[in-house]
Amino acid sequence: MQQDSDQPALEPVFGTSDIYTVTAGQRSTEVAAYGEGTWEFAPKWETTFGLRVFNNDYKFNSYVNGLINSFVTPTVPSITEVSNSNTSATPRFSLSYKPDHDLNLYATISEGYRFGLTNYNSGANEGIPLTYKPDTLWNFEVGSKATFLDGHASLNSSLYYELWHDMQISFRNTNGQVYITNAGNARSYGLENELVLRPIPAWEFNATLTLGEAEMTTDNPGILQRAASIRGPAEYGVYAGMRLPGSERISGAVGVQYNMFHVAGAGDAYIRLDDVYVGASYVDFTEVGSLKIGDYNLVNLRAGYKFHNYEVVLFSDNLFNSHGIENAVPDGDLTGLTDWAYRVRPRTIGLTLRAKY
């Protein structure tokens, strides 16, 4: 990767016209082996165990120069070379009980792992860390999958509890540079539900509901709690109990589909309406003085016709032209006056043609 920016008008002031020059390269390789086995140890009972063993090798080098690298010594480059290797394993265990063909009760424990890499702009101001550690996630889940009303309805429910260790999270320094660091440990827990009803072949109803909480479980006084903006200066210090950025407490969706007709040899026609709700969350670790995102509905409408291997769909996404905010950046233009917001895609009307072969 190579990026550069130059402005001759700056040379009389700073002794260089180089705003920034960045040359960086990284290579990561992974060798892994995975196996899984299931044992039906008793009638209606079975257990599954899986294990993934892997080795990661990583190499990184970068050259950063210019005013963004350092206003004091803009002609002195920052040169970085990093390499590391890691071998580990992630297990998965599940237990299920099926009293009959309409009900499955299960419990699952699994671990996830993510690479720890480097920040190519680590030589810049504000002490961007050179590397960040791997993070791991333990997931504990119990749930059920049920079919009832003679197959006309189904309900899937689960309770989850997750432990996140050395959480990787993105930040942005006062120069506008984005970097990743480890914020500490966190946990999340909640409930997920999915309901589908098919009372008659012509109608189908579905609904989903997710309730959750995500919070820090350790203290980290050096992590940015709230970014600087027109609402106030930057605040540091993240502590146990603080809500994670971008974590909504509630989200859900409802939908209905009407199958207008089905005639052998004549195809299928349908119309479908969906309403998706994204709950409120905040871009910082604190709600006070932070930018709120989410808390909006998106309504999507579709009318389609299927015939053999072909399908044509007329759609309107965001039917009511919601101005919901998906994400936001405090002090987006680095003037201390303007925040940036990224709204959902405006109402979009179109036609989709599909063919299977």
Domain limits of the chain?
Answer: 25-60+69-355
Which of 76 and 314 is assigned the larger pLDDT? 314
User: Which tokens in the block code for residue 160?
Assistant: 């989850």
pLDDT for res 234: 86
pLDDT for res 29: 87
| Long-range contacts (CB closer than 8 Å, 24 or more residues apart) made by 29-35 | 29/56, 29/57, 29/58, 30/54, 30/55, 30/56, 30/57, 31/55
Which of 65 and 218 is assigned the larger pLDDT? 218
pLDDT for res 350: 97
Neighbours of 283 (CB within 10 A): 20
Mean pLDDT taken over the chain: 88
pLDDT for res 171: 83
User: Which tokens in the block code for residue 171?
Assistant: 């930040």
Place of tokens 């479980």: 217
CA distance 48 to 90: 14
- Fold for the domain defined by 25-60+69-355: Maltoporin; Chain A (2.40.170)
CA distance 318 to 321: 5
CA distance 155 to 206: 10
**Amino acid at site 98:** K
CA distance 189 to 39: 29
Q: What is the pLDDT of residues 240-253, one digit of tens each?
A: 999 999 999 999 99
The greatest distance separating any two alpha carbons of the chain, rounded to the nearest whole angstrom, comes to 83
> Per-residue pLDDT for 223 more than 90?
no
What are the two backbone dihedrals, phi and then psi, of residue 185, each rounded to the nearest 5 degrees?
Answer: -105, 150
Q: What is the pLDDT of residues 321-341, one digit of tens each?
A: 999 999 998 888 777 788 899
- Phi-psi category of residue 326: left, alpha or beta, with phi > 0 → left and psi -120 to 50 → alpha: alpha
pLDDT for res 289: 87
User: Which tokens in the block code for residue 44?
Assistant: 């209606």
Name the residue among 126, 231, 221 with its Cα closest to residue 177. 126
> Per-residue pLDDT for 288 more than 80?
yes
Q: Which residues pair with 104 in a beta bridge?
A: 145
Alpha-helical runs (H) found in the chain: 11-14
Q: What is the pLDDT of residues 109-123, one digit of tens each?
A: 999 998 888 877 665
Q: What is the pLDDT of residues 13-46, one digit of tens each?
A: 677 766 667 777 778 888 999 999 999 999 999 9
- Phi-psi category of residue 149: left, alpha or beta, with phi > 0 → left and psi -120 to 50 → alpha: left
pLDDT for res 330: 86
Q: What is the pLDDT of residues 113-150, one digit of tens each?
A: 988 888 776 655 556 788 888 999 999 999 999 999 99
> Per-residue pLDDT for 262 more than 90?
no
CA distance 301 to 257: 10
pTM here is 0.83
What percent of the chain lies above the pLDDT cut of 70?
Answer: 87
DSSP structure string for 203-222:
EEEEEEEEEEEEEE-S-EEE
CA distance 272 to 303: 6
CA distance 21 to 63: 8
Average pLDDT of the segment spanning 176-198: 93
Neighbours of 177 (CB within 10 A): 19
Lowest mean pLDDT among 101-110, 156-165, 170-179, 280-289: 170-179
The secondary structure element, H or E, covering residue 164 is: strand 153-165
Q: What is the pLDDT of residues 193-210, one digit of tens each?
A: 999 999 998 999 999 999
Q: What is the pLDDT of residues 295-304, one digit of tens each?
A: 999 999 999 9
> Per-residue pLDDT for 3 more than 70?
no
DSSP structure string for 5-67:
EE-GGGHHHHS--EEEEEEEEEEEEEEEEEEEEEEEEETTEEEEEEEEEEEEEEEEEEEEEST
